[in-house]
C-alpha cells in the first residue's frame, strides 16, 4: 500500500498525490494512503465511507468549518508521472491533477497534520467520484449517509482559483438529443433514413447559439452549451437508424435545473431531448459574515480578488444544506483537464500560507 508523509514539503506531497492512481472509479489506493496518513495524528478523528475520508478536530471551538477536496481526476493523457519545470520562484509542477485538484488536497493534508489547535474546529473532507455523474459523487454520498460528518458553519472547497476567491458556481446538466432513422443497405440508401445526417440540424443550432453572461449578486457567470459526445451507426455498410448527440449546459446559478432544462428543450424544439444528469448551481454568498471574514484573511495573503466560478463544484451541495461556501485553492482553473495541466509551486505554498493564516488568526 502506498504511504504519504504529511510532514514533508508541499511539492513532494503534491507529487506523491498526483502520481497515485486516482482516475474516477479507481480511488481506492489514494483513499487508503490518505486514511493511513491521517490516522497517525492523535488530534484527528478519522472516518471513512467507501473511498471518502473525513478527519475532524474536537477542540470545543464555538464554530466548525468544513474544508473539502476531491481525490479523483479525469483520465490521464500521457501527463503522469509529474514533471518539475523551472527552479525557485518560477518552478511549475506539470501533470494530471496538479491543478484539479491534488495541489489543493496537499494543502489540506499538510494543514490537517500541522494544526492541532485551530481557531475553528475543522472537518477535513477528501472524497471520490467528483469528476463523473452527480449521483456517484462521494461528497453527495456523505451528505446522504452521514450528514453529521460534514456539518459546519462555513465551507471551503479547495478547487483551483489561481489564488483568488471564487463565489458560487454554475449549474450543470447533460442531455441526450436522440435522432431516429430507418436502417437500410448503404448501397440502397434511398430505402432508409440516415439518423446521423439528421444530427446536422442539432449541430447547426449549437453552432449558432450565443451563450449568456449573467450577473448574480455582483459576480458575472459565463454560460456555455456544447455538444460533448456523439454516437450512431451499426456497421460500415448500413444506413444508421439511430444517433445520439450529448450536450452539456453550464448555466448561471440564478436559474434552477428545471429552468435550464426547459431552455435546452426550447433550443432543440422538434427533437427528442432526454435529461440524463443535472446539478444545481450555487449563488455567490459572499455577503455572509463568515465568507467576508474568510475573504479578508486569505486575500490579504494572496492579493487575489473575488470572481465567479464558471465550472460546477460542490459548493452547490453545501449551499443546498444552507451552509455558506466558497472556492479557494492553488492552480489556474483554465488549465483543469487540459493535457498541459500545470501549477506554479509558489502558488501551492501561498495557498497553504493563506489558509493557515485564516485558521490560526
Residues annotated as catalytic are 72, 130
Take residue 198 and report the three cell numbers written for it: 439528421
| Residue of 201, 184, 204, 182 lying closest to 193 (CA atoms) | 182
Take residue 347 and report the three cell numbers written for it: 502558488
- At residue 168, φ and ψ (nearest 5 deg) are 60, -160
Query: Other C-beta atoms within 10 Å of 21: how many?
Result: 13
335-341 contacts, C-beta under 8 A, 24 or more apart? 335/99, 335/160, 336/99, 336/100, 336/101, 336/160, 336/311, 337/74, 337/100, 339/77, 339/78, 339/79, 340/79, 340/94, 341/79, 341/94, 341/95, 341/96, 341/97, 341/98, 341/99, 341/100
Question: Cα separations (Å) of 124 from 73, 156, 160?
Answer: 19, 10, 17
How many angstroms separate the CA atoms of 56 and 66, rounded? Answer: 9
Amino acid at each position: 500500500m502506498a504511504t504519504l508523509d504529511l510532514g514533508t514539503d508541499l511539492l513532494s506531497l503534491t507529487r506523491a498525490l498526483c502520481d497515485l492512481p486516482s482516475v474516477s472509479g479507481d480511488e481506492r489506493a489514494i483513499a487508503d494512503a490518505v486514511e493511513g496518513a491521517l490516522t497517525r495524528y492523535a488530534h484527528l478523528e478519522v472516518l471513512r465511507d467507501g473511498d471518502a475520508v473525513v478527519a475532524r478536530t474536537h477542540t470545543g471551538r464555538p464554530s466548525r468549518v468544513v474544508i473539502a477536496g476531491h481525490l479523483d481526476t479525469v483520465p490521464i493523457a500521457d501527463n503522469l508521472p509529474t514533471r518539475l519545470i523551472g527552479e525557485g520562484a518560477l518552478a511549475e509542477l506539470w501533470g494530471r491533477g496538479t491543478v484539479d485538484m491534488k495541489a489543493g488536497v496537499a494543502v489540506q493534508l499538510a494543514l490537517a497534520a500541522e494544526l492541532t489547535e485551530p481557531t475553528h474546529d475543522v472537518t477535513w473532507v477528501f472524497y471520490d467520484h467528483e469528476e463523473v455523474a452527480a449521483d456517484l459523487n462521494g461528497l453527495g454520498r456523505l451528505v446522504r449517509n452521514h450528514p453529521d460528518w460534514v456539518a459546519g458553519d462555513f465551507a471551503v472547497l479547495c478547487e483551483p482559483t489561481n489564488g483568488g476567491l471564487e463565489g458560487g458556481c454554475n449549474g450543470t446538466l447533460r442531455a441526450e438529443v436522440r435522432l431516429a432513422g430507418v436502417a437500410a443497405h448503404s448501397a440502397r440508401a434511398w430505402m432508409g433514413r440516415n439518423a446521423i445526417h439528421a444530427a446536422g440540424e442539432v449541430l447547426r443550432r449549437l453552432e449558432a447559439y450565443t451563450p449568456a453572461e449573467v450577473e448574480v449578486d455582483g459576480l458575472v457567470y459565463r454560460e456555455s452549451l456544447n455538444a460533448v459526445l456523439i454516437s450512431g451507426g451499426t456497421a460500415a455498410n448500413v444506413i444508421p437508424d439511430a444517433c445520439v448527440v450529448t450536450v452539456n449546459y453550464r448555466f448561471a446559478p440564478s436559474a434552477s435545473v428545471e429552468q435550464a432544462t426547459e431552455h435546452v428543450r426550447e433550443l432543440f424544439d422538434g427533437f427528442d431531448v432526454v435529461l440524463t444528469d443535472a446539478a444545481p448551481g450555487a449563488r455567490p454568498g459572499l455577503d455572509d459574515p463568515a465568507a467576508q471574514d474568510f475573504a479578508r484573511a486569505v486575500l490579504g495573503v494572496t492579493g487575489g480578488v473575488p470572481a465567479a466560478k464558471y465550472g460546477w463544484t460542490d459548493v452547490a451541495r453545501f449551499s443546498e444544506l444552507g451552509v455558506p461556501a466558497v472556492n479557494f485553492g492553488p492552480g489556474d482553473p483554465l488549465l483543469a483537464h487540459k493535457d498541459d495541466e500545470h501549477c506554479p509551486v509558489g502558488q501551492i505554498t501561498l495557498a497553504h500560507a493563506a489558509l493557515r493564516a485564516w485558521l490560526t488568526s
